[in-house]
Chains A and B, each alone.
Chain A
């Protein structure tokens, strides 16, 4: 019969009319990102970082800028760690290259900015902020505990 294919197509769309909708009502509902998701900004764990510079060498696009300093005990530590997120390819080479697993993705994909220079992320400053927050929270929780948390990396 002429037109049978057309009627079959109409039957398909009629059936899908009553199917469950697949729309995600963002921002009320958000998808959870898988564990290996590469996105957001680099999250630096200053306790694990040994300032080796391997992440900077692995990066194809000069996205990571590191300055280091040697202290008296001939140990390297970080002076600054800037991540230019605007140039990043999200290729994961830096995370894979790190020998101590000090950097990871923070998986926060809602990080758009109004100005281009805000795309340069000072990972060291953010890491320090997070540490002071955790330390002050711990302090509040255990007000009489020992003072071994002071010193070390906070000696700036």
Chain B
């Protein structure tokens, strides 16, 4: 008698297309996925525990390394939480600089998303194109704060240093070139029928299920839920800018892909508006030399490229935090992998992982 049985395939921690060190244990029936269980923790560095033995200011470089691709956002989320606890206000110019840097970082992060999606599906040229555009953004950051990926730029009370004089002309050149670059990527990738058929209709996450699980970010908006913290509870000076939030209809991989490409365009428009409106002035208020927040706790969340990044800080009145917990969007988004992949093929697992856009540094913390 012929008997079929399922087998276990391990897409191990070292794999060309898990975004970092993620182990996905697949239980397969031929090519159909029965279960896809992610095993995380290979990049765990104990950052939340480290926070208990660092002062508030000394912890800022560690937040860089959570979601290392969108460091500006991480810095800003943490600084906003501490500023909320201590009641610090930030000067105008610093607010504008924070927004410019964070939105540029959002573009850089989505370019990585596009590149890694392209190479996971086999179009390695797409990855080269995406990373080339990202180089321009990283050069801008390099010229401002001296680092390309872990910036330590946004501090309590403002930003650490003002932009050099050659920043604005360089940024204007980049913004002028960017629409043509984006059009090229759309022509190469979005118009491609093979990519369309790979992504359309696979990995559907319904809006109800997304809200139940706590999905946030572009993945949630692709399922049709209009939840963007920049519009709902604006932090910084986001209420002064005019931008759209792209929404999807079905919640499949295609919607998640198109949503992020559209977000890049909107970020470019926010940066252009901020450039026009930015006033002169100082970039850092007077804050005490030693940061000693009052006793209490605070939670503040921002819209990071991957979702809602939140910092919960418990302070006991000393210079070192009692406990910091980071609400990491990639960690929470990754839960949805198992149920989304069931009944699909191995190729779809790769596409879903790529469009959920989880970064292991943030998943493991």
Contact = CB atoms under 8 A, between A and B. Distances in A.
Interface of A: 2-6, 8-9, 11-13, 16, 22, 33-39, 58-60, 89-93, 96, 105
Contacts of A91: 60-61, 150, 152
A13 B193 CA distance: 16
B288 interface: no
B191 A36 contact: no
Where chain B touches its partner, the secondary structure class is: helix
Given A4-B191, A59-B58, A90-B147, 19 more contacts: A5-B192, A6-B192, A8-B187, A9-B187, A9-B188, A9-B189, A11-B187, A12-B187, A13-B188, A16-B125, A34-B143, A36-B144, A37-B146, A39-B146, A89-B61, A89-B150, A90-B150, A93-B58, A96-B160
B62 interface: yes
Contact of A12 (B132, B146, B184): B184
B31 interface: no
Interface residues of B, number: 29
B132 A3 contact: no
B160 to A, nearest CB: 7
A6 B187 contact: no
Interface in B158-173: 160-161, 164
B142 interface: yes
Contacts of A89: 61, 150
Contact of B164 (A12, A36, A96): A36
A3 to B, nearest CB: 7
Given A36-B146, A90-B147, A60 B164 contact: no
A5 B164 CA distance: 43
B196 interface: yes
A38 B270 CA distance: 29
Report the 6 A-B pairs with minimum CB-CB distance, sorted nearest first.
A5-B191, A60-B58, A91-B61, A36-B146, A38-B146, A34-B143
A16 B150 CA distance: 32
Contacts of B189: 9
A9 B143 CA distance: 34
A6 B59 CA distance: 49
Contacts of B206: none
Contacts of A4: 191
A38 B147 contact: yes
Contacts of A16: 125
A36 B143 contact: yes
A105 B145 CA distance: 13
Contacts of B144: 36
B1 interface: no
Contacts of B164: 35-36
A34 B146 contact: yes
A22 B132 contact: yes
B57 interface: yes
B193 A2 contact: yes
A36 to B, nearest CB: 4
Contacts of A60: 54, 58-59, 61-62
B193 A6 contact: yes
B194 interface: yes
A22 B132 CA distance: 9
Given A37-B146, A92-B152, A12 B188 contact: yes
A52 B336 CA distance: 53
Interface string B57-77: 111111000000000000000
A67 B196 CA distance: 64
A12 B192 CA distance: 11
Interface string B194-234: 10100000000000000000000000000000000000000
A13 B189 CA distance: 11
B145 A36 contact: yes
Nearest to A59: B58
Nearest to B59: A60
Contacts of B125: 13, 16
Contacts of A13: 125, 188
Contact of A5 (B60, B150, B196): B196
B286 to A, nearest CB: 16
A8 B146 contact: no
A35 B161 CA distance: 13
B17 to A, nearest CB: 21
A70 B125 CA distance: 63
